[in-house]
């Protein structure tokens, strides 16, 4: 049996989720007695490959080409599917990142492989991997089994652990996959990066604001608390729909579903569709005037008080304790 892990990189740097995918897939390969290969696609990757070793990668296949430096759905899909075929992959692991979620269905269709997407837990039962994944934005969880010969699992970022161990040696190999212009019918020509804070789907801490902030001019309270913690800024649907915050910060059923280790909800009452998107956070803090707000039912720690007083005090206290 052969396991292939796709290690996502951007700008020549492996994403944190790439380490999560490598380590998790290696664990299952070992349990299944399968071989394990990590695949990286991009350009000039050789110097970064050693970083994969502490997470269990020992064989890495790279496809390197200046045209692959930026993501292209069609070209990446061709390269990854081709390498998976050559390696006789039975199981392919990808991240459920924006790249992985875009790439997985292309590979699935090419290889007639069923996809368990956005997995939050994987468990071995006999020779089957049972995948747990959220549906209805996390209002329910389903356990699924993939029945096709080739199986694809995409892993939600931030859920599976990536703990570096002792690094072995890496045997790397360059794969040649012939690419023509016809393989680049969609291609990325420019990437713009939001300045400063991490993205809500990748952050280990999120500070989120809602209607209780009373206006966009008060969001600096949330932002400054986030900056103290190196956290992402999130927002409720109400404040995004009101135009206070950009939609890429929205957490909930029509926004992002997140699982940080700490979620601080400020002035968010906790509509059912918001709770769906964040209640799998490991720890939840709620700061809200209304002690009966539903957010307190999922919060580990709550302060039922005036956020205009509590947030600045919390920020000061954290700065002190973090030595900032």
Show contacts with another protein in window 83-102 (CB under 8 A): 97-99, 101-102
Residues in the chain: 324
Query: Per-residue x/- mask for another protein, residues 170 to 209, rule CB under 8 A?
Result: ---------------xxxxxxxxxx--xxx-xx--x----
When asked if residue 108 is in the footprint of another protein (CB under 8 A), the reply is yes
Q: What part of residues 61-80 is at the interface with another protein (CB under 8 A)?
A: 70-71, 73-74, 77
The CB-of-207 to another protein minimum distance in angstroms stands at 12
The CB-of-167 to another protein minimum distance in angstroms stands at 26
Q: What is the dihedral of CA 265, 270, 273, 276, to 10 degrees?
A: 60
When asked if residue 253 is in the footprint of another protein (CB under 8 A), the reply is yes
Among 25-33, 44-52, 212-220, 243-251, the segment contacting another protein (CB under 8 A): 243-251
Neighbours of 275 (CB within 10 A): 23
Residues 6+ apart with CB under 8 A from 321: none
Select from 262, 24, 53 the least CA-distant residue to 169: 53
Select from 170, 141, 190 the least CA-distant residue to 51: 170
Among 19-27, 170-178, 211-219, 314-322, the segment contacting another protein (CB under 8 A): 314-322
How far is 113 from 95, CA to CA, in rounded Å?
A: 16
Select from 274, 280, 264, 314 the least CA-distant residue to 294: 274
Count the site residues for another protein by CB under 8 A.
99
State which H helix or E strand residue 93 sits in: strand 91-95
CB of 21 or CB of 53, closer to another protein: 21
Q: What part of residues 28-57 is at the interface with another protein (CB under 8 A)?
A: none
Q: What part of residues 121-160 is at the interface with another protein (CB under 8 A)?
A: 130, 133-148
């Amino acid at each position: 049996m052969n396991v292939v892990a796709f290690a996502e990189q951007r700008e020549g740097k492996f994403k944190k989720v790439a380490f999560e995918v490598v380590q998790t897939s290696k664990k299952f390969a070992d349990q299944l007695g399968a071989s394990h290969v990590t695949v990286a696609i991009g350009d000039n990757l050789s110097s970064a490959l050693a970083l994969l070793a502490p997470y269990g990668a020992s064989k890495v296949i790279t496809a390197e080409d200046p045209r692959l430096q930026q993501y292209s759905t069609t070209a990446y899909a061709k390269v990854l599917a081709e390498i998976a075929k050559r390696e006789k992959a039975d199981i392919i692991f990808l991240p459920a990142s924006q790249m992985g979620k875009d790439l997985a269905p292309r590979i699935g269709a090419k290889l007639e492989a069923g996809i368990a997407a956005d997995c939050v837990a994987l468990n071995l039962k006999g020779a089957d991997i049972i995948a747990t994944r959220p549906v209805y934005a996390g209002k329910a969880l389903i356990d699924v089994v993939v029945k096709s010969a080739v199986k694809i699992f995409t892993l939600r970022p931030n859920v599976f652990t990536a703990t570096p161990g002792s690094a072995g040696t890496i045997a790397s190999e360059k794969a040649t996959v012939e690419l023509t212009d016809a393989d680049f019918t969609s291609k990325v020509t420019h990437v713009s990066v939001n300045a400063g804070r991490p993205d809500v789907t990748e952050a280990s801490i999120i500070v989120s604001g809602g209607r209780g902030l009373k206006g966009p001019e008060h969001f600096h309270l949330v932002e400054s608390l986030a900056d103290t913690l190196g956290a992402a800024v999130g927002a409720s649907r109400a404040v995004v729909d009101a135009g206070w915050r950009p939609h890429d910060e929205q957490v909930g059923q029509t926004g992002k579903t997140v699982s940080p280790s700490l979620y601080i909800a400020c002035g968010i009452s906790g509509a059912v569709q918001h709770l769906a998107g964040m209640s799998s956070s490991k720890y939840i803090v709620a700061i809200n005037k209304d002690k009966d707000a539903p957010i307190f039912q999922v919060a580990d720690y709550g302060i039922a008080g005036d956020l205009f007083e509590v947030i600045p005090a919390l920020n000061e206290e954290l700065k002190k304790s973090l030595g900032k």
